[in-house]
């Protein structure tokens, strides 16, 4: 009799937990963490690539020291920021991370202008190879950000819709996640002057 009662109780709890969205919310939370890991991995790839790119460019563009220094400084500022899965729960840390990445993107944009201004740099095979790798990395970052934003959308929807919202409010208490947002002023195209 007790075995049947215990089995009935276990089945009832399983049905209730599945019907209340508990598992769905947990899966979506893990998906957000995994998507953030992908974003970090693409940024790490870029950070690892930059020292090699800078060395290749230095060999051919000593007259553009200011631009190269800006890239190096932007790369160094990234090392000062603590990143991890907890960044997505801290809006200030998230904003600092995004700001540092924006500074690096700006410095890299200037570096690409240098390459376009000086044909001898473009002719160098090493520089072109690094430039293609950098372009590929920037594309990967865009894809990772987009996937992260989609995962955040799914998670936020799962904790705000009925009956999952009740489960989250009473059991899990997981906060809404913030998606990547454009930096202030990014709606204006940058001006390139030679």
CA–CA gap between residue 160 and residue 171 (Å, rounded): 14
CA–CA gap between residue 176 and residue 155 (Å, rounded): 8
Per-residue pLDDT, averaged over 49-72, amounts to 69
pLDDT at position 28: 94
Burial environment of residue 155 by CB neighbours within 10 A (0 to 12, 13 to 18, 19 or more): buried
- Please check whether residue 180 lies inside any domain of the structure: no
- Please check whether residue 102 lies inside any domain of the structure: yes
33-47 confidence digits (pLDDT tens): 999 988 888 888 888
**pTM of the predicted model over 0.75:** no
Q: State which residues form the domain around 154.
A: 37-172
DSSP string covering 66-116: HHHHHHHHHHHHHHTS--SGGGGG-HHHHHHHHHHHHHHHHHHHHHHHHHH
- Please check whether residue 17 lies inside any domain of the structure: no
For the chain, give the number of residues.
194
- Between 116 and 168, the more confident residue is 168
105-128 confidence digits (pLDDT tens): 887 777 777 666 665 555 566 677
Residue-averaged pLDDT of the chain: 78
Note whether 51 and 27 are within 8 A (CB).
Answer: no
Residue that the structure tokens 């740099």 belong to: 121
- Please check whether residue 4 lies inside any domain of the structure: no
- Please check whether residue 24 lies inside any domain of the structure: no
- Please check whether residue 29 lies inside any domain of the structure: no
Overall number of domains in the chain: 1
- Please check whether residue 71 lies inside any domain of the structure: yes
- Please check whether residue 3 lies inside any domain of the structure: no
pLDDT at position 194: 42
């Amino acid at each position: 009799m007790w075995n049947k009662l215990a089995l009935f109780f276990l089945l009832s709890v399983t049905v209730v937990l599945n019907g209340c969205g508990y598992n769905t919310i947990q899966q979506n939370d893990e998906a957000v963490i995994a998507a953030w890991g992908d974003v970090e991995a693409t940024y790490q790839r870029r950070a690892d690539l930059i020292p090699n790119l800078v060395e290749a460019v230095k060999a051919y563009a000593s007259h553009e020291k200011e631009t190269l220094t800006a890239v190096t400084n932007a790369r160094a500022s990234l090392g000062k920021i603590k990143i991890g899965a907890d960044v997505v729960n801290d809006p200030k840390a998230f904003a600092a991370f995004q700001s540092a990445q924006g500074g690096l993107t700006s410095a890299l944009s200037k570096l690409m202008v240098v390459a376009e201004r000086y044909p001898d740099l473009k002719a160098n095979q090493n520089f072109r190879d690094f430039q293609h790798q950098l372009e590929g990395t920037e594309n990967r970052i865009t894809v990772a950000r987009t996937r992260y934003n989609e995962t955040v959308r799914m998670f936020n929807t799962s904790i705000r819709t009925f009956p999952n919202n009740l489960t989250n409010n009473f059991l899990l208490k997981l906060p809404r996640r913030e998606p990547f947002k454009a930096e202030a002023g990014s709606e204006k195209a940058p001006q390139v002057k030679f």
